[in-house]
Each structure stands twice: as C-alpha cells, then as structure tokens.
Amino acid sequence: MGLLTALEGGYGDRGDALVVDGRAMSRERLLGAAGAVAERAAGAEALAVLARPCAETVVAVVGGLLAGVPVVPLPPDSGPKERAHILRDSGARLLAVPAGEDTGAGEAAKGIEALPVELTARSSGAFAEPAPERAAFVLYTSGTTGAPKGAVIPRSAVAADLDALAAAWQWTAEDTLVHGLPLFHVHGLVLGVLGALRTGSRLVHTGRPTPGAYAGARGSLYFGVPTVWSRVAADETAARALGGARLLVSGSAPLPVPVFERLAALTGRSPIERYGMTESLITVSTRADGERRPGSVGLPLDGVRTRLVGEDGGPLPEDGETVGELQVAGPTLFAGYLNRPEADAESWTADGWFRTGDVAVIGPDGFHRIVGRASVDLIKSGGYRIGAGEVESALRDHPAVADAAVVGAPDEDLGQAVVAYVVADGGAVTGEQLTAFVAERLSAHKRPRRVVLVEDLPRNALGKVLKKQLLDLG
C-alpha cells in the first residue's frame, strides 16, 4: 500500500473530490497532472514548491511524492533572504510554480529552474512506490534562533501519523474535510491535504479560513487554529452552521477555554484539541469517542510514548500538577535536521527520546496539558516554576479580557517576574484588578507582577503569539 492510498482507486471518485479555493478536480485529474510534475522532478535532489493556497500547490506536492523526491514547501510570503536560505540549504534546484510564472531573476541567476505546474497536463506513467524510509518532506522550522532548520520527514512517519489520527478521529472516506490553513505547515499540508488523500475523504480548502467560508462548505470535519476558531465563535450565524459537523479540530496553539466553551455552546460540538510539532507531527490528541476537556490535548496517539523530565533529566511525576519538559518517542518522529548533526545531538536523548522543548503537565489519567515553550513559557520566579499558560487561562476568564499572553521578564530579585500583556474586551479594567483576579484563582506567586494593556498581540501565520516581541512593547 502506498502513501496516498486514495489515488490508487477503490474509494470512488467525483469531479469535486478536491476543491481548492473554488477550483474543483477529481482524484484522477489530480493524479494525471501530478504525474506530469513527477516526470520532470524525478531524480532531483529536492523539489521546492511555492506553497500558495491553490490547486497547483497540491498538484506539485503530490508530484514530488510520486517521484520520490523530497518536497520543500516555501511560504509564499517569505522574504528573499529566507527563501534563498531554504533553497540553498535544501539543495532544491527545481521550484514548482503555477504555469505562466517564473522563479524570478534573482533565483534564476542562482541556478533555480522553474517547473511550471499545469492543471490540464496529463501523464499515464506508472511510478514505483518509494521506500518508506525515504524523505517525503523537508519542512523548515520557524527559526526563532538562527536560520531555519530543515526537518526531514520520512514517508513512514507521515503514514503512521495519518493512520493514528484516522483511528483517533474516526476519519474515513465518508467525511468531507474543510479548512483554509496555509499549505506550508504540518497542519494545513500534511494533515489537511495528505490526510484526505490517504483516508479517501473529500477535501475542501477554502483559500482563506473565514467564518463564512467554513459555514458554506458543509463539511463533517473541520481544521482550524485558535485564531480561526475565535473568529468563528464570534460569528454566531457561522458557528451555528457548523452544528452539522462531526468534528471541529483545533491545533498549532492552545485554544482559549472561553473559545472552546462558546464553540461548544453554539455548535453543540466540543472541539478536538491536539498537540504536535514539525519534528514529531501530531503525537497527542483527544478522541472522537472520548472526553474533550478544555485546556487539554488529550492522550498519546497509538504507538506514541511520552514522558516528563526535570532539568536534571530525571523523571517527573504525572500527577496533574508537576510541570516538566515533554519528551516523545514513536513512529511519527522526523529523521533529523538536514545537514545539522549538532542540532540533532541537542534534540535527542541518549536513550532515543526527542526533546520537544515544550513544557507540559500530565495527569494520573494520562491527559496532557501543554504549558508552552520551555524557552518562553516556563517562568522561574522566586524559586517557583510557573507555567505561562495557566496564568493566561486565568486572565482569559475575566469578562473584560479578550486575550492575554504571559512571559517572564528579567528581575534582579525574583530572577524572572510574571508579566502579562492583555487585550481588553470593552469596558474599563486595570492591571491591579487583573492581578487580584489571578491571585484569587491561582497561587499567589503566580499572579502577574506587571500588567501591560495592549491593542493586539503579535502572532505568526498559525496564530501563535510571538512572545519574544512582547518585551519590546514595554
């Protein structure tokens, strides 16, 4: 069985099996156009794809996978420096773009050749299934420290993850998957495109993830990030239109509890939350037939193991209170960073576990709650270890708070002081009131030492707050 089993037949086909930004195609048409890409890409070191939310992106990605060539998605809004780094680092000399476009004079001068993607192209050639250990993707991380690193994702990891998610979410060919997420990340591309091409479900990519587009798509399975779900929850008409869906899945960042509760109230469906990384794909999720607990990402997927460790590397108790670094092991993990042995050495333990760099709490029942990144979300203040996520959740419970982000600021006395950046939701509220509000709900040492009221929080394309920019706000 190949990676993209729905393209092998047996699932039926229809003219709108895939709809991307309003353009429909059958799986047969997708396979023919992708085969034409595969014929040109075969033998290349890598195939870069300008990953706009369009049908040509899907065709190019599938073409690279058919040819057994690692696919390197390029964010369409990447600047010249970032794009040049990814092309150079990955070794890609082919850049798939919609027919009629070129790579640009600068990239052509560097030996980058355009591979035009034509939706009407056809190939009847047969392509042998590449070995499972071959790379399916080289996905570049956000590069919060230094240049972005290329995570090499084997085909076997993609298959294992999609099969585990299909089991957890009861995802079948009877579903219609709807989302409008970027096609250069795990969430939108691996889950949101390859998931449909492996399970046989119909796919509707809305181009942009607006509440109206989601409401009009009439899907049974929806993917979104917290920003998307927050906007849906604020649009009562759109939210109620999703009441016929089977699952609403949220990921890429924690879903605020008030958004979870409002979605559940308006749609009659409590959202599914899941956790993963570029390097690990999705490893933890709540289940279609299980409890969906606000603020929790649920249980490890089939085949995945997790553990909490302290700063000394020793095991920590799974008692629902202790905060520690989350480490994972299992078949969904990446093969390593491309040409970065020093980064690999830092990322793996001696006994073969991947250091996620995230901090979490695991309960006695196995449910996981992600606190955030160890570098910015684990605050060490006055000898206490404080998870920023817990303080953020408490702040969001205040009726005058629309959003909040918490960081640790350098402090001569405490080491780090808890600082909250808060977006007010109408009405007057002061920092003193919010500090008192948190102190009534959490331990006193977790209260913010300073509250900064802001109009908005800086976020990336997936809705994650860029916390390192917050301290520059004052």
Q: What is the CATH number of the domain that holds 160?
A: 3.40.50.12780
Whether 307 is in a domain gets the answer no
Q: Which one is predicted more confidently, 255 or 147? A: 255
Q: What is the pLDDT of residue 337?
A: 96
Whether 192 is in a domain gets the answer no
- Is residue 359 scored above 60 in pLDDT? yes
Q: How confident is the model over 204-223, as a mean pLDDT?
A: 97
Q: What is the pLDDT of residue 144?
A: 47
Query: What tens digit of pLDDT does each residue of 25-43 get?
Result: 999 999 999 999 999 999 9
Whether 96 is in a domain gets the answer yes
Final residue of a structural domain among 144, 167, 190:
167
Q: How confident is the model over 110-125, as a mean pLDDT?
A: 89
Q: What is the pLDDT of residue 91?
A: 95
Whether 331 is in a domain gets the answer no
Final residue of a structural domain among 127, 145, 167:
167
pLDDT band with cut points at 50, 70 and 90 for residue 442: confident
- Classify residue 457 as exposed, middle or buried by CB count within 10 Å of its CB (0-12, 13-18, 19+): buried
Tokens of 222: 């929806």
Q: What percent of the chain has pLDDT over 70?
A: 96
Range of the domain at 439: 382-473
- Which residues are within 8 A (CB) of 154 and not within 5 positions of it... i.e. 6 or more apart? 132, 133, 134, 135, 136, 334, 335
Q: How confident is the model over 379-383, as a mean pLDDT?
A: 77
- Count how many Cα atoms sit within 13 Å of the Cα of residue 453 in the half-sphere of its side chain: 14
Whether 459 is in a domain gets the answer yes
Final residue of a structural domain among 132, 167, 202:
167
For the chain, the average pLDDT equals: 91
pLDDT band with cut points at 50, 70 and 90 for residue 10: confident
Q: What is the pLDDT of residue 464?
A: 77
Whether 212 is in a domain gets the answer no
Number of domains in the chain: 2
Whether 428 is in a domain gets the answer yes
The dihedral region occupied by 382, where left means phi > 0, alpha psi between -120 and 50, and beta the remainder, is left
Query: What tens digit of pLDDT does each residue of 299-358 get?
Result: 999 999 999 999 888 999 999 989 899 999 999 999 999 999 999 999 999 999 999 999
Least confidently predicted of 188-197, 260-269, 388-397, 447-456: 388-397
For residue 424, the domain's CATH number is 3.30.300.30
Q: What is the CA radius of gyration of the chain?
A: 22
- Is residue 422 scored above 50 in pLDDT? yes
The whole-angstrom separation of Cα 440 and Cα 47 is 55
Backbone angles phi, psi at 360, to 5 degrees: -150, 170
Q: How confident is the model over 100-123, as a mean pLDDT?
A: 78
Backbone angles phi, psi at 28, to 5 degrees: -65, -45
pLDDT band with cut points at 50, 70 and 90 for residue 105: very low
The whole-angstrom separation of Cα 267 and Cα 443 is 34
Whether 136 is in a domain gets the answer yes
Would you say 405 and 420 are in contact if contact means Cβ atoms under 8 Å apart? yes
Q: What is the pLDDT of residue 108?
A: 53
Q: What is the pLDDT of residue 474?
A: 65
Q: Which one is predicted more confidently, 444 or 291? A: 291
The whole-angstrom separation of Cα 144 and Cα 399 is 33
